Amino acid sequence: MTKNSKVKIIPLGGVDGIGMNITVFEYENDIIVVDCGISFPENDMLGVDLVIPDTTYLQKNADKVRAVILTHGHEDHIGAVPYFLKQLNTKIYGTRLTLGILESKLTEHGLTKTATLVEVKAGDKSTIGQFSIEYINVNHSMPDAVALCITTPVGKILYTGDFKIDFTPIGDKPIDLGRIADLGNKGIKLLMCDSTNSERPGYTPSERTIAASFDRIFYNLEKRVVIATFSSNVHRVQQIINASIKYNRKVAITGRSMLNVVKAANRLGYIDIPEGLIIDVSDMKRYSPNQITLVTTGSQGEPMSGLYRMAFGEHPTISLGASDLVILSASAIPGNEKLITKIINELCKRGVEVMNDSNEVHVTGHACREELKIMHSLVKAEFFIPIHGEYKHLTRHALLAKELGMEGRNIFLPEAGKVFELSKRGIRINGSVEAGQIMVDGYGVGDVGSVVLRDRKHLSEDGIIIVVASIDTENKELLSKPEIVSRGFVYVKESEALLDELENTAANIIGKYLNKGVTDIGTLKNKMRDELSAVIYSKIKRKPMILPIFSRIVL
C-alpha cells in the first residue's frame, strides 16, 4: 500500500429509489460487490416485469470481481443475482436463509451447477482479495440479516444493510449493538447506513407487537382470513401460523415466491410449522371459512400475484366474497399506491372486507430516526454516505448526521454511478461510471429500452393505424386503393366514414409523391407518417402510431 492508495466506492443502485441495491468496493485489482437486487417497474414501464441494475462497469472489469456479498434475502437485495451470474460467474457469500432463498432462483435460471455459494453467519470473517469482511447480526423483517464491517487498506467501512433495532425479535437474536460499539471505539472511517425511514420519528415497533393485532382479529372471527404480505417476511408468516394454530385454523399458501420462501425457511429451520397444519389450496373447500387462513403474495398490487388474480376473479381455484377478510400486512412501496388501491376497490366490489391499516397489521423492518441516531452515536464514523432510499430519504439522513454533530464536508450524497475515492486523508468524488436500469420483459433482458417504452406508451394512449399498399415503382403507379387497419384508434363499425376518408387521403399522398418522381419505399413511408398524422390530428386531435407497409411490385 502506498500513501496514495484509495478504495473506490461506487453505488450502482439503491440510492435513487426504493430497491435495486448494489454497491461496488474496489481496491487496486480487487472488486467486491455488496447486494444485487431488483426493483419494481414504474407505471410508465409498460409490460416490464422487473428492473435490474446496469452492471456494465463490472463486466468491463470482470477480471477484478472476486465476490458478491449479500446482506439478506429480500428481492431488492438478491433478485438480480441470477442475471448477474449469467454475465459474471463469481462466488456468492450469504447467510444460510439468504442462500436458501437464492437457490430456488438459481434453479429457475438453470444456474445451480455453475454457481458457487459460500455460507457465512454472524460473527464470521471472510478475506476476499485485499478486503476483510466481518458479518454482524442485525434485525430486519426477515431472519439472517447482517451488517458488514469491511476492512480495507485505508480504513474500516461499516455497511449497515437494511436494519432496525429490535430487542424482542421473532426467532432471532437482537441486533449486536455491542460489537458495533466496539468497532466504533476502535475507529470506523466511513459509515454507509440505511435511510429508508429517515423521515419517520421515534422508534420502529418490535415485530412481536403484530401478535396482539392478529390475536384480536382472529378472535371469534367467522370469516376466512386472507393475508397478503411480502413473501420473504418469514417473521410475519410465523406470526400468522401461530395465530392460526391458536384459533384452530388450517393454513393454505398461494403465490410462487411465497411457496418457495416458506419451503426454504421451513427446511432450514427458520420457521416452525406443525405437521398437518399446511393444506393445499384445492383442499380449502373441505373446511368452513372460520377454519382457514390463506397466506398469499400481492401486498403491493403486483399484476399476476396471488391476491391480484383473486381480486379480479382470475385465480384458477380461489374466489373471494363476503365470507372473506383480506388483510394487507405490508406498507406500500412508493409508486405502488395506485396498484394497491385498484386491488382494494375490486375486492370491495366482491363484498370482501379489507383491512389495510398498516400501523395495526404491519411493522416496518427499517430503523426510524431515533434508531439511526443510536447507530451514528455508536459508530462515530469520520465520514458518512447515506444509502438505501429515495433522494429525499438520503438528504434527510444527511441532515440528521449534521444534527448529531458531523461536519457537512464529511457527508456525501450518493448517486448511481458516482465514484467515491476513500483514502487515508479523506473522501473525494472522482467522476462516474455507467449505471442505470436494465428492464426485463419475459425472457428478454435489456431489449426493452426508452424507444420501445415510448412506442408502448404511444400505442396504449393513441392506438395504431396500419396503411397497406402495393406500388409499381417502375411505372410510378398505385396498384390499388390503400387498406387501413386500425387497432386501439377508433371503433371501426362507428367510424367507417373516417377510415374511408383516411384511405383516400393515403392514396392521394402516395400518388402525389409518385408523380414527383419519388419511388424510394423508405421515403414514401416517412411522407405517409408525417402527412397522414397531420390530417388525423386536424380532424380528431389524436396522434396514433402510423405504420405504413408498402410492397414494391414490378410488372
Cα gap 55→435, rounded to integer Å: 7
Question: What is the crossing angle of helices 177-186 and 369-379, to 10°?
Answer: 40
Cα gap 183→444, rounded to integer Å: 45
What are the E-state strand segments in 297-390? 324-328, 353-355, 383-387
420 close to 412: Cβ distance less than 8 angstroms: yes
26 close to 151: Cβ distance less than 8 angstroms: no
Q: How far is CA 507 from CA 17, 47, 200, 468, 550, in A?
A: 50, 35, 64, 10, 12
State which H helix or E strand residue 157 sits in: strand 155-159
Cβ burial, residue 456 (10 Å; 0-12/13-18/19+): middle
Does residue 442 come out as left (phi exceeding 0), alpha (psi in the -120 to 50 range) or beta? left
State which H helix or E strand residue 536 sits in: helix 521-540
319 close to 294: Cβ distance less than 8 angstroms: no
> Order of strands across the sheet with 383-387?
125-128, 131-137, 146-152, 155-159, 190-194, 383-387
Cα gap 145→311, rounded to integer Å: 33
Cα gap 441→147, rounded to integer Å: 33
Closest C-alpha to 527, from 539, 538, 516: 516
Residue 118 cell numbers, joined: 459460500
Active site residue 397: no
Q: What is the sign, positive or negative, of the torsion defined by CA atoms of 428, 432, 437, 438?
A: negative
| From 194, 376, 388, 393, active-site residue | 194
Cα gap 135→151, rounded to integer Å: 11
| From 140, 366, 388, 393, active-site residue | 366
469 close to 506: Cβ distance less than 8 angstroms: yes
Closest C-alpha to 246, from 176, 293, 305: 293
Active site residue 366: yes
Give the residue numbers annotated as catalytic, written as ranges.
194, 366
